[in-house]
Structure 1
Amino acid sequence: MNAGSIAVVVPHHIEMPSWDLYELSIPCTVFGKPQPDLADPWYELRLCSTGTGDGPPTGDALAFRTRHGLADLVGADTVIVTSVPDACVDDGVPPPPELTAALRRAHDAGARMVSLCTGAFALAEAGILDGRRATAHWMHTAQLAERYPKVDVDASVLYVDDGDVLTSAGLSAGLDLCLHLVRRDLGAHVANQLARRMVVPAHRSGGQAQFIDLSVPAADDEGLAPVLAWAMERLDRPLTVADLARRAAMSPRTFYRRLQAATGTTPLQWLLNQRLGRAQSLLEATDLPVERIGELSGLGTANNLRHHFLRQIGVSPTEYRRSFPGHA
């Protein structure tokens, strides 16, 4: 397991809008703060700017200065590109040529390339996404597909892991992707512990939709919480809507209506989501055979597990496991 060095590129020239701070803070929080009890050494993070200059920022922008420039991208193990300026998306202004040239050099040198939200426009302009599946915030995927027809744009997913090139949707999906990188590099246990410290979900698979049905109640529901906890402890056993309704002391129709109102999904889809989540955890953290994981997660046979993985997550269980080399 290896953390490596990460260069975060801020495509704004000197100034960046204040609303982009959240996105910049994601890689800084995930990779920039040493976590010696989880992995030592931790990542080496450096922020790289597209230019230097003086003078106060204008409007709601913030001045951005760092001692690292585009030349520092070469040599990094991973290069992360945050969102490009709005003009690159809304007005068709291409990202700075010096930026795209630096990204190509880093990619040619073997760096893993990552974009958050509209940072995909910079990777696409550099030709790095040609022939690859990629994503961005759903509000901008149409422009991305139109402007870069060689890119296979998927507007529905949270993030795309294409091996040495990864792209994410906007805002919280960028956090999902950064935690996914930690899982790939340092294993599921480290990523889970880090997510716990950040008080965020440990893992959302990239294949999940940007618009997603909730798997747990959005608000406290004293009538549902105990039965859902009971079901989570018995995912490896046959469970029906009637079983859950009986446990909740409700009629099946009432239980169906209450669960759908609380989670946005049906009881059977809720069960499937939880079983897929259990299977993902087992694939990430153990070397158990796929057949056994199908049994423990309640998805049955290996063929049934593969069917649901391909349909819901977009990859086979074996392919999914390859992304997490640090098995317990």
Structure 2
Amino acid sequence: MRIFILALEGVFDTGLATMFDSLSMANALAQATGIAAEPFDISVVGVRPEVRTALGMQVPVRAIGDAAAPDWIILPALNHMNAEALVPVLGRDDVIDAMAALRRWHRGGARVAAACTGTFVLAESGLLDGHAATTTWWLSALFRQRYPRVHLDAHRIVVPSGNALTAGAALSHLDLALSLIRSSNPELATLVAKYLVYDTRLSQSVYAISDHIAHADPLVERFDRWVREHLGTAISLDTVADALATSKRTLTRRLNAVFGKTPVEYIQDLRVERAVHLLKTSKLTVDRIAEQVGYADGVTLRTLLRRRIGKGIRELRS
């Protein structure tokens, strides 16, 4: 299986190394154990003759030239933590050239993959239009606003869709690599995960800081703060809209733009988030916790917790 790892200036060191090391380990373990798996022929390529990582290390890249399309092109993250730093990079000359190469290879039959902020380069190229995808959780609002043609599911760590494969934040580069290895041989992916002492992650949701994402919109930030302050009470959308001096329609539209959720869904998520925290950090019963997060009894809370666990398992199996 021919794989190009496309390294751009400022590539996230850990992301690049993780992809290369994981796939190389898969080759070595397959050979050592006799597991029947197609080997990974890995090349680190670049659109410029010299590429440096975010930490300043020079990457030995192969010039892409007119190279024929590989089976997969992988885009590790660019090491930019916020929108102010990331968005200008998407208009950089080498990134524009990289997107042209991605489209050319894709037309030649290559499949595309990216993790963390690398997903923005894929989305910017148009290759994710009409597909489901994930991205790094703290930039999900920006991604959703910038790429409305992409069906974003920022809860998931890895999302396969058509000829594209995307992964979430930072260390999800490992999840992306294991997904590629699994497509070659599931037994080999399991073995690599054991050698890397990898723990299965069901979702990005358990890591996401929702009030951090809410900063993308002042009204949504105020909504988030108000709901958190009143989480133990019965909350109606009319009450929240009046308190924030806005309309239910505006609130619904803005929540959908930032989180892809309705206000009711978001309130429910905050209640479950608080309940999970209390289950981990206190000795309160489920019924008592249910009261503290705004539910009349523990039945509803237990149902929601089971539903969340079940969803996480289904996402893992997909």
**TM norm. shorter chain > 0.5:** yes
* TM-score, reference length from structure 1: 0.58
Aligned to 1:155: 154
Give the structure with the higher percent helix: 2
> What letter matches 1:260 in structure 2?
K
Q: Give SS of 1:139's match.
A: helix
* Structure 2 counterparts to residues 266-305 of structure 1, below 5 A: none
What are the superposed Cα offsets for residues 1-57 of structure 1, whole Å, 9 maximum, x if unpaired?
xxx111100122xxx36xx21110111011124321234552110001120149xx7
Amino acid of the residue matched to residue 100 of structure 1? M
- Kindly state the Cα deviation for residue 84 of structure 1 after the two structures are TM-superposed: 3.3
Structure 1 match to 2:137: 138
Q: CA deviation at 1:155?
A: 2.3
- Partner amino acid, structure 2, of 1:23: G
1:1-328 correspondence to structure 2 within 5 Å: 4-12=1-9, 16=10, 20-33=12-25, 34-35=27-28, 36=31, 37=33, 38-39=35-36, 41-53=38-50, 60-69=55-64, 71-72=66-67, 74-84=68-78, 86=80, 89-91=86-88, 93-94=90-91, 96-187=95-186, 189-201=187-199, 203-205=200-202, 208-211=203-206, 260-261=280-281, 311-313=311-313, 320=317
Paired with 2:78 and 2:88, the residues of 1 have a C-alpha distance of 12
Instruction: For structure 1, list consecutive stretches of 5 or more residues without a partner in the other structure.
Output: 214-255, 267-306, 324-328
Residues 90 and 104 from structure 1, CA distance in 2 versus in 1: closer, same or farther, beyond 3 angstroms? Answer: closer
Residue identity opposite 2:123 in structure 1: A
Distance across 2 between alignment mates of 1:159 and 1:172: 12
Hey, which bits of structure 1, 4+ residues long, moved more than 4 A? 57-60, 256-259, 307-310
State the AA in 1 paired with 2:21. T
RMSD between superposed Cα atoms in Å: 3.4
Report the Cα offset of residue 122 of structure 1.
1.2
Letter in 2 for 1:81: L
Give the TM-score taking structure 2 as reference length. 0.59
Per the alignment, in what secondary structure is the counterpart of residue 61 of structure 1? coil
Q: Could you report, residue by residue, the CA deviation over 1:265-291 in whole angstroms, capped at 9, with x for unpaired residues?
A: x8xxxxxxxxxxxxxxxxxxxxxxxxx
Shift of 1:128: 0.5
| Counterpart AA for 1:157 | R
Does the 8 Å CA contact 2:5/2:75 hold for their aligned counterparts? yes
CA displacement, residues 88-133 of structure 1 (integer Å, 9 cap, x when unaligned): 6243642522111110111111112100111111111111111112
Shift of residue 210, structure 1, vs aligned partner: 3.8
* Structure 2 counterpart of 1:32, one-letter code: S
CA distance, structure 1, for counterparts of residue 115 and residue 100 of structure 2:
19
Asked if structure 2 preserves the Cα contact closer than 8 Å seen for 1:94 and 1:125, the reply is: no
Paired-residue identity, %? 25
- Measure the CA separation in 2 of the matches of 1:308 and 1:140: 23
CA contact (8 A) 2:13 2:55 kept: no
Q: Distance in 2 between matches of 1:309 and 1:161?
A: 21
**Contact (CA 8 Å) 2:137, 2:154: kept in 1 or not?**
yes
1:310 to partner: Cα distance = 7.2
Asked if structure 1 preserves the Cα contact closer than 8 Å seen for 2:90 and 2:96, the reply is: no
